[in-house]
Structure 1
Amino acid sequence: MLIRKIESLIREHLQSTSNKVLLIDGARQVGKTYIIRYVGEELYKNFIEINMIEDSLKDRLFERVKTVEDFYFQVSMLAGNKMGQKEDTLIFIDEIQAYPALLTLLKFLSQDGRFTFIASGSLLGVTLSQTTSIPMGSIRKVRMFPLDFEEFLYANGFNEMTISFLRKKYENEEALDEATHNKIMELFRKYLLVGGLPEAVNSYIQNPNIVLVREIQNEIREYYAADASKYDGENKLKIRRIYDMLPSNMENKKKRIVAKNIENKKGKTFNDYSDEFEYLISAGIALNVQAISNPSFPLVQSSSKNLLKLYLNDVGILTSVLYGNNIRAVLDDERSINLGSVYETVVASELIAHGYKLFYYDNRDKGEVDYLIDDYDSLSVVPVEVKSGKDYTVHSALSNFTKNEAYNLKKAYVLSNEREIIKKDKVIYMPIYYVMFFENLAGRSNWGELKK
């Protein structure tokens, strides 16, 4: 079984006295159903699981459910012998977005108090934005992501002692010895190929065959693209077009979305596609990074929605599109291959999974810095530059950024393949794998997973 850090969050919530319904949001195929089922069956004598998409395709028992009693009646037809008491009965409503009215009903099910509930969905961000009566105060919404690099290390045989050792090294800003560094970098490059989608990771662990892994990734990518066809009207074609553009867009020097390229129509602006962008982001299949030109803490107060970068939600899908079954491009770190977009993607997925909202620095005169994150300890902004090549000390935009006294910077990071940790002025150079320990605890309640 894959170790998922969100397991502890689910377990602690279900064992708490909270009356809120835990609602796990996330893209398809990130492992929501499996981990909820695993914890639920362990903690509760009576575990009732209802997949609302399956119901919508078959009996449609819950299609017209409006009241608590209606809901219980339909559950009783499926699992009446398992409906015990609140303490020993967990009802898991999977793919709840199939019936948006059930999101509103969660409030009343929670208040009724006869059973314990948990729910999940793959397009909750989209559904909630279209739901007129959101049960605020009655739900606790948490987003789940593909396996991060730390979880990938667990999948490859690492234990808590090993991870704690690595974390301590990071906290003390100490480099690993060369042999350990090489081993972690080897696994990091494999993570770039495999990514964090559970089915792909399980396939790799059981049989390290890249062809099988790529088949899974390609199928899931098609799932994601096909989901757009469920959207209303002509938007679905634009959503599909934008999603298909992401890998090639990542290879451009400026990786932000150019509106006129989406339909090859001059005069198109960001606002013409705001619904399509919102769909991809809310569905969890794209990670959005917003531009900041004059950064100040907190970053959200000075972001621009009109300059946007979108990254794929899984680095394995990206390398599948870019390199297919040729693993040498990544594993051998060939000089002729620019892995910049791949490294940026993996850092984006790590940061967002660890509680950060994503921003980048964009200044017409001073250039771009890959990421900006909030540091709640020092109440300041921290720039993060990602380097995939040997010239990791060359970063003119970051250098200009750190010299600007108006930004009140305390530190900046450059993440690269290099083993040693070096401090030069405000810049800290460290190995890219240490990003797995960047954590925004202030953002955990809304975005991420509890530390194991």
Structure 2
Amino acid sequence: MMERLVLEQFKAWKNKDKSKRKPLLVTGVRQCGKTYLIKSFGETEFDEMAYFNFDGNAGLKSVFDYDFNTKRIIDELGSIILGKTIEPGKTLVVFDEIQDCSRAIQSLKYFCEEMPELHIIAAGSLLGVALKDEGISFPVGKVDRIDMYPMSFEEFVMADGGGKYIDGLKKMSLEREIPELYTIPLEKYLKNYYIVGGMPEAVKTWTETHDYKEVEVIQDNILRDYADDFSKHTKPDTAIKIKLIWDSIPSQIARENNKFIFSHVKQGARSKDLEDALEWLVNAGIASKLCMVPTPEIPLSGEADYTYFKVYMSDVGLLRRKSNLNYRTILEGDEAFIHYKGAIAENYVYTQLKFMGIESYFWRTKSDAELDFITDYEGVLVPVETKSADNTKAKSLHQFCGRYNPKIAIKSSLKNVGDNMDGATHVWSVPLYTLFRFKEYVYKEMGWK
């Protein structure tokens, strides 16, 4: 089993006092490993697991049609469908693809109130789409939530036999320059992560074969499955718009000024004609919007311009494949690859921040200054400049620090660990392959434990 760091959150949920534990709702982009991890968790942490999949299962859905009597529902699920008793405290109940049964979603409220001793996990890939498009009543305040993502770079390295490097880095002082014993293999792992990405099936194929072509077969299948979902879960005219936006994302990311522009999706197209299609991709978790903050005052969410944004893909490996970028170009480099290499690095940083639960934005002036990412993690304003190689000249970061005087700033590139002062700002050089230590740098700067 490939190690997933989110498993610790599952265990913490299981061990909560029943008076505080609620049904757990696990969401995430399709094929990011939700079902596999939930089943593994059920098999190892509980005496029994009662697994129910609502996808195309009319008989299962009918159990929820009559009323929301939780005892009746559990009795029927156990005795009629499973043929055995579901025992609270011993059995993990799993409702998979729950977006296909609106009443099952509503029932979570009643399980929370009437049967808190029962462990229930509900999962859905297109739940965000269903809640928005179908007007399903969501049990606000009655569920615990965990968002799952494709495997992070840290998880990828551990899956590919590089756990000793991750363990070694975690023991290493944040200030210490990283020796070549680590930098050379980790740079190679980073290139492979750009190629393979973090979709579990692609990672599994890579770790078993180390064959880029085999990985691309898996990636092509995932991309096709995503495209099939457009037509399966939307009306034909909406599906066409979604595909137009989906196909435009790689070129939009690669633009010099990579603000997402609807007219570049289709000539003459207006934002009001395509906004719903883009929101479908966002709600499905396939793509994400990074909004601009013109004035970085905390909280950043209150200053964000939600009409001015970039769009990134949920997985850097799928971006690489969808862009038709040959894996040899990543491995060997090319003078013509310089600009898109930066786009890949930005998408990588965005997904790693998201994996860590860090909400980010970007900053841009009316002239030519732009900062790739800013966050107010734990109430601390942190600008993050991203470079794809070891060139760390960062004019925009310097302007930002001079204007807003943040306590800490991060320059992430292939340059080794280092630090300096830019006015009142402590600027850390953090290699792209150690970005998973981001929170440690903030805690160190603020003197927190």
Give the C-alpha shift of residue 72 in structure 1: 4.1
Q: 1:72 to 1:264 in 2, by over 3 A?
A: farther
Q: What root-mean-square deviation, in Å, do the aligned CA atoms of Structure 1 and Structure 2 show? A: 2.3
CA distance in 2: counterparts of 1:262 and 1:421, whole angstroms: 41
Q: 1:87 to 1:416 in 2, by over 3 A?
A: same
Check 1:203–1:226 CA distance in 2 against 1; reply closer, same or farther (3 A cut): same
Aligned length: 430
How far residue 242 of structure 1 moved from its aligned partner, in angstroms, is 0.8
Q: Could you tell me how far apart the structure 2 residues matched to 1:305 and 1:321 are? A: 26
Residue 328 of structure 2 is matched in structure 1 by 328
Is residue 372 from structure 1 mapped to residue 374 from structure 2 by the alignment? yes
For 1:152-167, list aligned pairs within 5 A: 152-159=156-163, 162-167=165-170
Counterpart of 2:431? 431
Which residue, out of 23, 26, 46, partners 2:25? 23
Shift of residue 63, structure 1, vs aligned partner? 7.2
Query: Within 2, Cα distance between the matches of 1:204 and 1:291?
Result: 36
Partner of 1:313: 314
RCO higher in 1 or 2 (8 Å CA, sep ≥ 6)? 1
CA contact (8 A) 1:356 1:440 kept: no
Q: Distance in 2 between matches of 1:335 and 1:419?
A: 23
**Fraction of identical pairs, as percent:** 28
Distance verdict in 2 for CA 1:414–1:19, change over 3 Å: closer
Match of residue 281 from structure 1: 282
Q: Indicate conservation of the 8 Å contact 1:414/1:428, yes or no.
A: yes
Cα distance in 1 for partners of 2:21, 2:388 equals 47
Aligned to 2:55, the other structure's residue is in SS state helix
Aligned in 2, Cα 1:177/1:224: closer, same or farther, shift over 3 Å? Answer: same
Q: Could you tell which deviates more after superposition, 182-191 or 253-262?
A: 253-262
CA distance in structure 2 between the aligned counterparts of 1:93 and 1:390, rounded to whole angstroms: 47
* Displacement after TM superposition at 1:400 (Å): 1.4
Contact 1:351 1:439 in 2 (8 A): no
- Displacement of 1:335: 3.5
Equivalent pair of 2:97/2:123 in contact (CA under 8 Å) = yes
- The aligned runs of 1:119-198 (5 Å cut-off) are 119-129=122-132, 130-159=134-163, 162-169=165-172, 172-198=174-200
Contact 1:343 1:387 in 2 (8 A): yes
**Partner Cα distance (2:228, 2:441) in 1:** 35
Task: Show CA shifts across 1:276-321 (max 9, x none).
Answer: 2222112111122001111112211100111111111001111112
Q: CA shift at 1:71, angstroms? A: 6.1
Q: Report whether the alignment pairs 1:418 with 2:420.
A: no
Determine which of 216, 222, 225 is the counterpart of 1:223.
225
Q: Distance in 2 between matches of 1:256 and 1:440?
A: 31
1:14 aligns to 2:11 (yes or no): no
Q: Is the 8 A contact 1:20 1:137 kept in 2?
A: no
Gaps of 5+ in 2: 443-449
What per-residue deviation string (whole Å, max 9, x for no partner) do you get for residues 153-207 of structure 1? 1102234x643431343x6232210231111111111111110000000000000
Kindly provide the amino acid, as one letter, of the partner of residue 403 in structure 1.
G
**In 2, distance between residues paired with 1:65 and 1:362?**
54
Distance 1:441 1:133 in 2: 41
Task: Give the structure 2 partner of residue 385 of structure 1.
Answer: 385
Structure 1: distance between partners of 2:392 and 2:34: 37
Name the SS of the counterpart of 1:172 in structure 2.
coil
What residue is the counterpart of 1:351 in the other structure? 353
Describe the SS at the equivalent of 2:305: strand
Q: Does 1:44 align with 2:46?
A: yes
Mapped to 1, the partners of 2:441 and 2:5 lie a distance apart of: 14
Q: Secondary structure at the residue paired with 1:438?
A: helix
Q: Which moves more between the two structures, 420-429 or 30-39?
A: 420-429
Structure 1: tracts of 5 or more residues without a match: 443-452
